[in-house]
A and B are shown apart, each in its own frame.
Chain A
Amino acid sequence: MNINPGVIFTVAGFPVTNTLLATFLADIIIIGGVIALNRAVSLRPSKLQNILESVVDYFYKAAKDIAGDRAEYIYPWVLSFFIFIVVANVIEFIPGFESIRIGGHEGFAFLRAATSDLNLTLALATISVAVSHYYSIKYTGIKSYFHRFISFKMFPIMLFVGFLELISELVKFISFSFRLFGNIYAGDILLEKTFYVVLPLELFVGLVQALVFALLTMAFMSILTEKSH
């Protein structure tokens, strides 16, 4: 299994890969679910509504516990990461997902897990970090934001601490993207080599990775939107 996603065709120089098609499939499932739920939403919930209400309420309350009033703008991002990653991870278990191949045995799968593509995981990491910093500037002020990274108090200790903070922010891109990418890509290889014997384990890994990504985003957003002392 090649680490690079397979390009199926190109549109005006834009490569449409098997992972991008899987992303679109995840989009369709999510949008379809949203439309279906919007039509059926009522005070007496259906089973699907009950599950979604529980998930929304869980993330809202978790954000509220960690970030207090800032939960209102933190939880939609966190929950979006969770839903998108869960759907993208789980759809790879649909029969035929990675078994339908282009170019024979030596070719590549028509559909491949979206999160096994570094482009997606790095995009999600970039959004997570960028949104965290945007809210940090918006809610703590530009002075407080820069004070976190550059401070001459207790020179040179706080300056060094600020430098470490800067490094940790850069490391977030790597940790977010490579953790998700590595876990799902490794899982795909494992599934292929063990003929789907470890499928329940991989399903669990998919859920856990989505939860880890979402909760880390929540923690980082909460920390960055708190005024530094």
Chain B
Amino acid sequence: MEILHTLGLEWKLFLGQIINFLIIAYILKRFLYKPIRKMLEERRLKIDQSLADAENAKAALENAGLERKKILEGAKNDAGALAAAAKISLEENKQKMTEEAKKQSEQIITDAKQKASAEFDGLSKRIGQISVDLSGKILSKVFADLFTEDEKQKVIAKALDKIEKGGYEKIAN
């Protein structure tokens, strides 16, 4: 004990130092370590959250890329199918239109033929009529000196009647 006193040990100071350090330790624990540990924990959580968010964003981006690729491939396939369908449809339309055109042209030809035939018939009749009229006039002039008016009329009427009944074709042949 004497040696401790020689080294400056004083029990009042010793106790005072113990109390002083306990107060400081309490202050440090309460007001320094706790807030700092809390802050470190908060920061750690925030970093973890940010990293998780970044991972999610990366995954979402990758998914979006894959989805884009998938959509593009789908669109490409659809476009191909549409083009093929359009080609088929075009071919069909072409064929249909060709057939229709053919039909129409045939119809036109038929109509034209009929029309031409009708016109030809009409024309034949007219020519027949003209030839009858012309024959009447010729006969009237030829028979003017040979027959009386009455005989002349009868002969002409008979001749014309024969001409009319015989038709143009018979006369022509």
CB of B13 within 8 A of CB of A15, answer yes
Check: B10 CB closer than 8 A to any chain A CB: yes
Residues of chain B within 8 A of A27, CB atoms compared: 20, 23-24
Check: B28 CB closer than 8 A to any chain A CB: yes
CB within 8 A of A80: which of B10, B24, B39, B46?
A: B24
Residues of chain B within 8 A of A201, CB atoms compared: none
CB of B29 within 8 A of CB of A80, answer yes
Residues of chain A within 8 A of B7, CB atoms compared: 3-4, 118
Interface residues of A in 159-193 (CB under 8 A from B): none
A-side binding surface: helix, strand, loop or mixed?
helix
Nearest Cβ distance between residue B12 and chain A, in whole angstroms?
6
Residues of chain B within 8 A of A14, CB atoms compared: 12, 16
CB of B8 within 8 A of CB of A118, answer yes
B-side binding surface: helix, strand, loop or mixed?
helix
CA distance A75 to B12 in the complex (A): 29
Interface stretch (choices A33-41, A99-107, A135-143, A204-212): A33-41
Check: A151 CB closer than 8 A to any chain B CB: no
Check: A79 CB closer than 8 A to any chain B CB: yes
CA distance A34 to B24 in the complex (A): 10
Residues of chain A within 8 A of B14, CB atoms compared: 119, 122-123, 126
CA distance A161 to B91 in the complex (A): 107
CB of B21 within 8 A of CB of A77, answer no
Residues of chain A within 8 A of B13, CB atoms compared: 5, 15, 17, 20, 117, 119
Nearest Cβ distance between residue A16 and chain B, in whole angstroms?
9
Q: Please classify how large the interface on chain A is, using the bins under 10, 10 to 19, 20 to 34, 35 or more.
A: 35 or more
CB within 8 A of A56: which of B4, B16, B22, B33?
A: B33
CB of A30 within 8 A of CB of B21, answer no
Check: B40 CB closer than 8 A to any chain A CB: yes
Binary contact track A33-58/B, C-beta < 8 Å → 1, others 0 = 01101100111010001001100110
Residues of chain A within 8 A of B28, CB atoms compared: 30, 34, 76, 79-80, 83
Check: A149 CB closer than 8 A to any chain B CB: no
Q: Which residue of B lies closest to A80 (CB)?
A: B25
Residues of chain B within 8 A of A123, CB atoms compared: 14-15, 17-18, 21
CA distance A41 to B9 in the complex (A): 40
CA distance A42 to B36 in the complex (A): 9
CB of A119 within 8 A of CB of B17, answer yes
Check: A216 CB closer than 8 A to any chain B CB: no
Nearest Cβ distance between residue B33 and chain A, in whole angstroms?
5
Q: Which residue of B lies closest to A10 (CB)?
A: B12
CB of A56 within 8 A of CB of B36, answer yes
Known contacts being A15-B12, A23-B20, is A52 close to B32, with CB within 8 Å?
yes
CB of B8 within 8 A of CB of A119, answer yes
CA distance A126 to B14 in the complex (A): 10
Residues of chain A within 8 A of B39, CB atoms compared: 41-43, 45, 53
Known contacts being A27-B24, A127-B21, is A4 close to B37, with CB within 8 Å?
no
Check: A196 CB closer than 8 A to any chain B CB: no
- Residue among A27, A38, A76, A77 with the highest chain B CB neighbour number at 10 A: A76
* A interface residues (Cβ-Cβ under 8 A, vs B): 3-5, 13-15, 17, 20, 23, 27, 30-31, 34-35, 37-38, 41-43, 45, 49, 52-53, 56-57, 60, 75-77, 79-80, 83-84, 117-120, 122-124, 126-127
Q: Which 3 residue pairs across A and B have the least CB separation, nearest first?
A: A123-B17, A4-B8, A80-B25
